[in-house]
Amino acid sequence: MSDRFQKEVEKSVADYTASIPFDRRLYRQDIAGSVAHARMLARQGIISDKDAELIVMALAAIRDEIEQGKFPFRTDLEDIHMNIEARLIEKTGDVGRKLHTARSRNDQVALDMRLFVKEAISDTTQKLKQLQRALIDLAEANRDVVMPGYTHLQRAQPVLLAHHLLAYFEMLNRDVERFGDCLKRTDVLPLGSGALAGVPYPIDREFLAKELGFTKVSENSMDAVSDRDFVIEYQAAASLAMMHLSRLAEEIVLWSSAEFGFVELDDAYATGSSIMPQKKNPDVAELARGKTGRVYGNLMAILTTMKALPLSYNRDMQEDKEGLFDTVDTLLSTLEVFTGMIRTLKVKGDRTKQAAEEGYILATDLADYLVRKGVPFREAHGIVSALVKYAMEKGKGLKDLSLGEYKSLSPLFGEDVYSITVDTSVKARNIRGGTAPERVKEALARARRSLDG
């Protein structure tokens, strides 16, 4: 108990305010920060080299205790910082009491959180690229597979499956870029800001930054201890990434259904039913959709927590951790299982081609056919619309119509109309960003280079 208070804290209050049940996972970051701080204090002559060496050795021993499951975590010590400091004092006596010179728990936790988020960004980026690589591999293995492209979940125009998969590659590329941008603002050293006003010791913050791998030092002590923008930014980027994964998940759920039958999930990434023996459920994809909501919720929680906090540190900010940890864990695990699921996905190319050839998916190509013969597009659109209506009334596909039936709607239709196929449709989209095989081949090579470079 501090000399400032005359009563012990109620146990219910101690339990309510303690963060050690969840912030103990910051032990590595906390110890790394303390080691750098001890070395800086000695370098600046604030403590002796001998004391710094003893502190560093004891901190290494404490890290080993934690990793071996032998550390005596205490809820009454509130958080990971006080738990480690108390254990340090047990091991080194008054020498350990010197470590907190020229710092506060406010800049200490800000440091730990930044170190954690920097590592999370690195891990996330790596796993995003692994999933991108899996998508490229699947696309290259099925480069010639044609499938229906959709708008409004209605068959629209034929595309290459590889082109469709590369759309997700582009989404994940933006995610990688966003996390990279987040890193720029996370990579700022707050240590040395003290509680809020700086510290009255001749510390070397540039040395601390170099020791801890930061490229910048914070410019305002009040902002440094109260800033959690980097936590919010990570969660915002994670929410977008999970949204992309959820969209891909929905496609996999649809494609693996009997109604579509475009893909088959590997047994290792599906589950059965407790009552229906025939079922093969896309649980990984479905759970990813569900977990996306959790990640969104964590983002809204931290935004709401921070929205009305006066400067500088407030205890509300203890709520920055659990949601962040959950988001990091959720995103990383989702990326990992998605990579395995994509790598083992079996594409049913015959079925995708059959689906692309059914119905009236070449209607736009027929309109373009008339445009090439001098008909304004809007007029050509109307002619083909009437043609589709006629075919539907007759219960025929476009390829089943006779030339006479074609000519009844426009005399410009000739025998060459039957040369329009899903393959010619795909090949005709030979512009940058289009689905033509030549363009998709270039896009795949570009994507591969971007990952290997």
Query: What are the tens digits of pLDDT across the range 418-433?
Result: 999 999 999 999 999 9
Question: pLDDT tens digits, residue range 199-216?
Answer: 999 999 999 999 999 999
Residue 169 belongs to domain spanning: 106-143+160-349
The number of beta carbons lying within 10 Å of the beta carbon of residue 420 is 17
Say how far apart CA 28 and CA 92 lie, in whole Å: 20
Question: Among 48, 122, 257, 273, which one carries the catalytic annotation?
Answer: 273
Q: How confident is the model at residue 381 (pLDDT cuts 50, 70, 90)?
A: very high
Element (H, E) at 263: strand 263-264
pLDDT at 2: 57
In this structure, the answer to whether residues 379 and 273 fall within a common structural domain is no
Average pLDDT of 298-315? 96
Say how far apart CA 339 and CA 166 lie, in whole Å: 15
Average pLDDT of 395-399? 93
Q: How far is CA 54 from CA 91, 192, 292, in A?
A: 9, 22, 46
User: Is position 381 annotated as part of the catalytic site?
Assistant: no
In this structure, the answer to whether residues 329 and 405 fall within a common structural domain is no
Say how far apart CA 264 and CA 354 lie, in whole Å: 16
Q: With 70 as the cut, is the pLDDT of residue 5 above it?
A: no
Give me the percent of the chain exceeding a pLDDT of 90: 92
pLDDT at 275: 76
* Domain boundary pick from 349, 373, 406: 349
Average pLDDT of 24-53? 98
In this structure, the answer to whether residues 168 and 311 fall within a common structural domain is yes
Is position 119 within any domain? yes
- Per mean pLDDT, which range of 12-16, 161-165, 292-296 is the poorest? 12-16
User: Is position 257 annotated as part of the catalytic site?
Assistant: no
Residues contacting residue 35 through CB under 8 Å, at least 6 positions apart: 55, 56, 59, 60
Say how far apart CA 146 and CA 422 lie, in whole Å: 8
pLDDT at 11: 84
Length of the chain in residues, anyone? 453
Average pLDDT of 317-345? 97
Question: Among 2, 152, 274, 402, which one carries the catalytic annotation?
Answer: 152
Q: With 90 as the cut, is the pLDDT of residue 171 above it?
A: yes
* Domain boundary pick from 306, 329, 349: 349
Say how far apart CA 194 and CA 216 lie, in whole Å: 17
Say how far apart CA 102 and CA 364 lie, in whole Å: 71
- DSSP letters spanning 47-78: S-HHHHHHHHHHHHHHHHHHHTT-----GGG-
Is position 3 within any domain? no
Is position 80 within any domain? yes
Q: How confident is the model at residue 116 (pLDDT cuts 50, 70, 90)?
A: very high
Question: Strands 216-217 and 188-189: what pairing?
Answer: parallel
Question: pLDDT tens digits, residue range 65-75?
Answer: 999 999 999 99
Q: Is the Cβ–Cβ distance between 98 and 47 less than 8 Å? A: yes
Residue with tokens 């496609």: 251
In this structure, the answer to whether residues 310 and 373 fall within a common structural domain is no
Q: Is the Cβ–Cβ distance between 312 and 196 less than 8 Å? A: yes
Q: With 60 as the cut, is the pLDDT of residue 1 above it?
A: no
Say how far apart CA 121 and CA 230 lie, in whole Å: 11
pLDDT at 161: 98
Say how far apart CA 133 and CA 222 lie, in whole Å: 43
pLDDT at 100: 97
* Domain boundary pick from 319, 349, 379: 349
Higher pLDDT, residue 11 or 364: 364
Q: Is the Cβ–Cβ distance between 334 and 291 less than 8 Å? A: yes
Phi, psi (rounded to 5 degrees) for 263 = -140, 165
Is position 151 within any domain? no
Collapse the DSSP code of 346 into the 3-class scheme (helix H, G, I; strand E, B; otherwise coil) and give the result: strand
Q: How confident is the model at residue 17 (pLDDT cuts 50, 70, 90)?
A: confident
Using only the alpha carbons of the chain, give its radius of gyration. Answer: 30
Average pLDDT of 30-34? 98
Average pLDDT, the chain: 95
In this structure, the answer to whether residues 317 and 206 fall within a common structural domain is yes
Strand blocks (E) in 337-431? 346-347
Number of domains observed in the structure of the chain: 3
In this structure, the answer to whether residues 135 and 260 fall within a common structural domain is yes
